[in-house]
Chain A
Amino acid sequence: MEILDAKKIREDFPIYKNTSLMDGHPLAYLDNAATTFKPYKVIDAIRYYYENETSNAHRGDYRLSANVDYKYELARKKVAKFINAKDIEVCFTSGTSMSLNMIAYGLADLLNEGDEILITEAEHASNVLPWFNIAKRHNFVIKYVPLTKDGRLTVENFKKSITKKTKVVSLAHVTNVLGYTVDVKTLAKIAHENGAYFVCDGAQSVPHIKTDVKDLDIDFLAFSGHKMLGPTGIGVLYGKYELLTKINPLLSGGGMTSRFDTCGDITYSMVPYKFEAGTQNIAGAIGLGEACEYLQEIGLDKIYQHEMNLRNYAISKLEKLDNVILYNKDADHGIITFNIKNINSQDIATYMSSKGVCVRSGQHCAKILLDFLQTESTLRCSFYLYNTYEDVDQLVECCINGGDFLDAFFL
Chain B
Amino acid sequence: MPFSYDANILREIILDHYQNPRNYKQIDSDDFIKIHMDHSDNCTDDIYVYLKVENNVIKECYWYGHACAISTASSSIMTELVVNKTVEEATKIMDEFNKMMKNEEFDESILDEAVCFVNTYRQPSRVGCATISWRGLKEAFEHLKHEGDCDCGK
The interface of chain A, by Cβ under 8 A from chain B, is 343-347, 350, 353, 361-363, 376-377, 405-406, 408-411
Contact = CB atoms under 8 A, between A and B. Distances in A.
Interface stretch (B37-45, B53-61, B107-115, B137-145): B37-45
B15 A376 contact: no
Contacts of B44: 344-346, 361-363, 376-377
A361 B42 CA distance: 8
A409 B119 contact: yes
Contacts of A410: 1, 7, 10-11, 119
Contacts of A406: 11, 14-15, 69
Interface band, chain B: 20 to 34
Contacts of B10: 410
Nearest to A409: B119
Nearest to A378: B44
A344 B14 contact: no
A346 B127 CA distance: 13
Interface in B15-70: 15, 39, 41-46, 66-70
Nearest to B12: A406
Contacts of A405: 69
Contact of B126 (A345, A363, A409): A409
A353 B46 CA distance: 23
B33 to A, nearest CB: 25
B125 A350 contact: yes
B122 A346 contact: no
B123 interface: yes
B122 A411 contact: yes
B125 A376 contact: no
21 contacts: A344-B68, A345-B44, A346-B43, A346-B129, A347-B68, A347-B69, A347-B70, A350-B123, A350-B125, A362-B41, A363-B44, A376-B44, A376-B46, A406-B11, A406-B14, A408-B123, A409-B119, A410-B7, A410-B119, A411-B119, A411-B122
A346 B68 contact: yes
Nearest to A410: B7
B61 to A, nearest CB: 23
A409 B46 CA distance: 21
List the 9 closest A-B pairs by CB distance, nearest first: A344-B68, A377-B44, A346-B68, A347-B69, A410-B7, A347-B68, A376-B66, A363-B44, A376-B44
Contacts of B69: 343-344, 347, 405-406
A338 B73 CA distance: 24
A91 B21 CA distance: 53
Contacts of B122: 411
A344 B67 contact: yes
A89 B75 CA distance: 54
B73 to A, nearest CB: 10
A376 B72 CA distance: 15
Nearest to B15: A406
B123 A409 contact: yes
Contacts of B126: 350, 409
A351 to B, nearest CB: 10
Contacts of B14: 406, 409
Contacts of B67: 344
Nearest to A353: B125
A409 B39 contact: no
Contacts of A377: 44
Contacts of B66: 376
Contacts of A347: 68-70
Contacts of A345: 44, 68
Contacts of B119: 409-411
A362 B45 CA distance: 9
Nearest to A344: B68
A81 to B, nearest CB: 34
A377 B45 CA distance: 9
Contacts of A353: 125
A408 B11 CA distance: 11
Nearest to B128: A346
Contacts of B1: 410
B134 to A, nearest CB: 17
A409 B41 CA distance: 22
Interface string B92-111: 00000000000000000000
A363 B39 contact: yes
A363 B40 CA distance: 9
Nearest to B67: A344
A404 to B, nearest CB: 10
A365 B119 CA distance: 32
A362 B68 contact: no
